[in-house]
Every structure is written in C-alpha cells, then in structure tokens.
Amino acid sequence: MRISVIGCGYLGAVHAASMVELGHDVVGIDVDEPKIATLRDARAPFYEPGFEELLGRNLRTGRLQFTTDMSEAAGAQVHFVCVGTPQKRGEYAADLRYVEAATESLLQVLQPGDLVAGKSTVPVGTAARLAETVGEKVPGALLAWNPEFLREGFAVQDTLHPDRLVYGLPADGDGEVAERMLDEVYAPIVERGTPKVTTDYATAEMVKTAANSFLATKISFINAMAELCEATGADVKQLADAIGYDDRIGRKFLNAGLGFGGGCLPKDIRAFMARAGELGADQALTFLREVDNINMRRRIRMVELAREVCDGSLLGKRVAVLGAAFKPDSDDIRDSPALNVAAQLQLQGAVVRVTDPAALQNSRRQWPQLDYAETAEEAAERADAVLVLTEWKQYRELDPVAFGGVVAQKRVLDGRNALSRTAWTEAGWTYRALGRRAG
Ligand code: UGA
C-alpha cells in the first residue's frame, strides 16, 4: 500500500519507518524542516533505542521518504495523522490546532476511497467532527480512529508488536471498508492473532485516554501508599511486591517514587478532565485531580527530603542530580519530575549539578539556569547529597564504594526506589527513599 504519515515526532517517525518494515511505501510529512532533514539523513531527531537502525534499514529500501511538502501525500490510500496534542497554555484542555491543520491540508490531496486514520490522542468527539468535514469536502473519503499505545523507550517494539489494535470505525458499510484497509496496513500484525477491537469513534478515542488515566492512577495509588508508609514506617517497595503478586492487581506500574511525567500521562489526564467537564460529566473524573495532586506532591516531598539530609538547610549545599529525562531510555524532558526537583533545589539555594546520559542537550536548552555535568562522577564531585531521580541503568549499577570516593558526604536519595539499599548502606552511605525507612 502507499501510505502517508502526517507529523514525524516520536509517534509519526517510528510509525512511518515501521510501516515500511511491514511492506508498504511510505511518505512521512512534517512542517519542521530540520527534523525532516535529520530523518532523511537516517539520523533520529530524538533518543529512542533501535529507531536509528530501523530508519536506516528502511530508507535504504527506497520505499521510505520524508518531506515537508504536503502534496507528496497525494496518491497514498491511507493517511495517518500523528501530530501532537499538547496541553493548552493556562488550561487543562488539549490544543487541537495541529490536528486541525493536518486535516485541513490533507483535504487538498485526499481522493474518494482514501482513508484518514487518526492516531493522535484527542478529546472524545474529535473524530466524529473530523469525519463530517472529510465526508463533506471529499465525498467517498473515509476516516477511522486508530489510537497508539507506544511507550517511549520501547517505541519500535510497541509499534511492530502492539499488544492490541483498536479501530474506531464509521457506522454502516463504510466501517467494513475502513476495517479492511486497516487490516491490510497491519496485515502481519493481524495475521499473528493480535487482539483487535473494532468499535465506534468515541470508544476508540476513550480507550486511549482511559488507558493512560488508569496507568496514572496506578502510579498515584502506590505513591499515596508511599505517603502512608512514610507516616507509619512501613516499606512501600515490599508493599508493592506483596500486593503485586495478586494477578488481579499486578506488579507493573506500581513503582513508587517521584511519579509520572512526560508528554502524555500528565496532559492526557488533564485533557480528559476538561473534556468530561464540557460533556457535563466532570464528577466522573474528579478523582483524576487527586491523582494529579498526589503526583505533584512527590516532587515537593523529594525537595524536603533533600533538605532533611542536608541538616535542615539547602543553602550553599552541593547537590548532584542523576537523571534529567522523564524516564530512562529517553531524552524527553517534557514535564520531567527530575528537572522540576532540580530547579526547586536551586531556587532554595542549593548548588545543583545535573547529569543525564541522553537528555543533557534538551535540558541545557530548556533549563539554561541549571548547571550540567557530563558524567555522574563529575556531577557528584564534592557533593553534600546525591539524588537519583531517573533510574537509568548506569545509575542503578553505580558502585557505591567507588562512588563514595567522589562525594563530600555519603548521602544518597533514591527518587525511584531503584538502588540496592543494602549495598549503599554497607558502603557507608546514608540512604533515603520515598516511602521507605531511612537506611
Ligand atoms: C505512556 C503510556 O505508557 C503509553 O502506553 C502511551 O502510548 C503513551 O504514554 C502515550 O500516550 O503516547 P510514556 O509517556 O512513554 O507512555 O511513559 P510511561 O512508560 O507510561 O511512563 C510515564 C511516567 O510514569 C514516567 O515518568 C515514569 O517514570 C513513571 N512511572 C512509570 C512511575 O513513576 N512508576 C511506574 O511504576 C511506572
């Protein structure tokens, strides 16, 4: 099939290259010239394990093109909309301007029989509205909503081996046509027996926001338990292990710590609340406000804990922050809890040095007021406290004995419950973590 992918961020760029891997001819389109130039050069514009190999391999086939010219989408049978839907400034709602603009420009090239397949995370009701415009302007063209569940850091694997496919389809016979087209796109995935849910637009849109809300709730649940553990002297890590053995609960996404950040979970729960409000169903989602509050409180608690271990004052204390990305295996710093804490510590008078294996360039650009170091050792030189705020493998595997020789005071704060308390305390460190007793 010939496919176009509009929007070449994390989602679109990985989707475009993956669709070639599945056997299609693909053109990826984005308004960002430098991004397109980088992709054409077989370089990844963001850090994503395995993506550069996938990109290079598929560019070499000659079946993957990148361009800023929307007219190149003409002739494709399926057009994927993969643009961002960030949070609006000063409000909870999602900003749909990129989705609107992408659809508007697609209308110029769309032919009867083409399928527009939306992948962006949108407020429920968006697909029905866009389908109406598409049907009016290009009779015979169809629209489907086909949400994406990829995680940063596992984007390639999640795109090529998704755990489910969700198709939000138009009503009547058009639905069958759209389903057949999507099945053809995903043929190898469908044939492998991947679970598939075919449904209406509203359900497909909600599947995505409901899934992210559930994940956020799970994280905030365990972080609320961490608050209680701090009050009672119980241990949240053991608690999570013990409840996680119940497979109705499960251990995944029960890692207590600094909480969730990134470009998806925080803005998706807020947009979901905003949309529920517009629909007159805001009460149904008021609990998400608490999920958000619990999450933000963890950052404040981390700063307090740092003050506590620094003998009650952060003024002039040298603090090393290991990790800036919102999670490991990513250079994404959108709503990064780690950088948020680093900035707070600095505001309160600490001398902060931040390091990260992949996100330094982005961090320097976005937070120029912070100090940065290339390595953990450099960041921790003569430090009064070391904070591990993103659980990169290199930090989890630090040797506490050797690392102890670098710092002024052996005090470590494990913001992600990712270090071995025993190993660090045996090496003479004061170990503190969220939701766990002092070690
Ligand atoms: C999330 C969802 O997991 C994907 O399924 C979804 O497709 C994606 O959003 C999206 O909407 O595009 P992602 O933002 O890449 O993916 O990150 P997650 O792996 O979900 O992690 C989110 C945050 O939660 C991170 O800051 C992570 O450190 C934190 N987290 C995760 C915890 O604090 N505890 C956990 O147990 C798990």
Place of tokens 């984007």: 155
DSSP 230-289: HHHT--HHHHHHHHHTSTTT-STT---SS---SSSHHHHHHHHHHHHHHTT-GGGGHHHH
Per-residue confidence band for 438, with pLDDT thresholds at 50, 70 and 90: confident
Q: In what order do the strands lie in the sheet with 385-388?
A: 371-372, 351-355, 318-322, 385-388, 411-414, 430-433
Contact 360, 425 (CB under 8 A): no
Q: What is the mean pLDDT of the chain?
A: 97
Per-residue confidence band for 437, with pLDDT thresholds at 50, 70 and 90: confident
Q: 214-433 has which fold?
A: Rossmann fold (3.40.50)
Confidence check: pLDDT of 78 > 80: yes
Separation CA 96–CA 17 (nearest Å): 25
* Residue 401 CA to ligand 1 centre (angstroms): 32
Predicted local distance difference test score (pLDDT) of residue 172:
83
Place of tokens 């990134």: 262
Q: Which of 14, 15, 152, 268 to mutate to test the pocket of ligand 1 (most atoms within 8 A of CB)?
A: 152
Q: Whose CA is nearest to atom 21 of ligand 1?
A: 260
Separation CA 261–CA 239 (nearest Å): 23
Do domains 2-199 and 214-433 share one topology? The answer is: yes
Mean pLDDT throughout 400-429? 97
* Residue 224 CA to ligand 1 centre (angstroms): 18
Give the homologous superfamily in CATH for domain 2-199: NAD(P)-binding Rossmann-like Domain (3.40.50.720)
Contacts of 272 (CB under 8 A, 6+ apart): 123, 209, 212, 213, 285, 288
Kindly state the percentage of the chain with pLDDT values over 90.
Answer: 99
Mean pLDDT throughout 227-233? 96
Contact 340, 306 (CB under 8 A): no
Q: Which of 236, 260, 302 to mutate to test the pocket of ligand 1 (most atoms within 8 A of CB)?
A: 260
Mark whether 264 is an active-site residue: yes
User: Which residue ranges make up each domain of the chain?
Assistant: 2-199, 214-433
Contact 219, 253 (CB under 8 A): yes
* Residue 392 CA to ligand 1 centre (angstroms): 15
Contact 320, 403 (CB under 8 A): no
Confidence check: pLDDT of 337 > 90: yes
Ligand 1 is surrounded, with C-beta below 6 A, by 121, 148-152, 212, 215, 219, 253-255, 257, 259-262, 264-265, 268, 326-327
Q: Whose CA is nearest to atom 22 of ligand 1?
A: 260
Place of tokens 């170990």: 431
pLDDT digits (tens, 9 = 90+) for 116-171: 999 999 999 999 999 999 999 999 999 999 999 999 999 999 999 999 999 999 99
Regarding beta strands 318-322 and 385-388, do their DSSP bridges make them parallel or antiparallel, or are they unpaired?
A: parallel
Confidence check: pLDDT of 439 > 80: no
Q: Whose CA is nearest to atom 10 of ligand 1?
A: 264
Atom of ligand 1 nearest to the CA of 259: 33
- Please tell me the pTM assigned to this model: 0.96
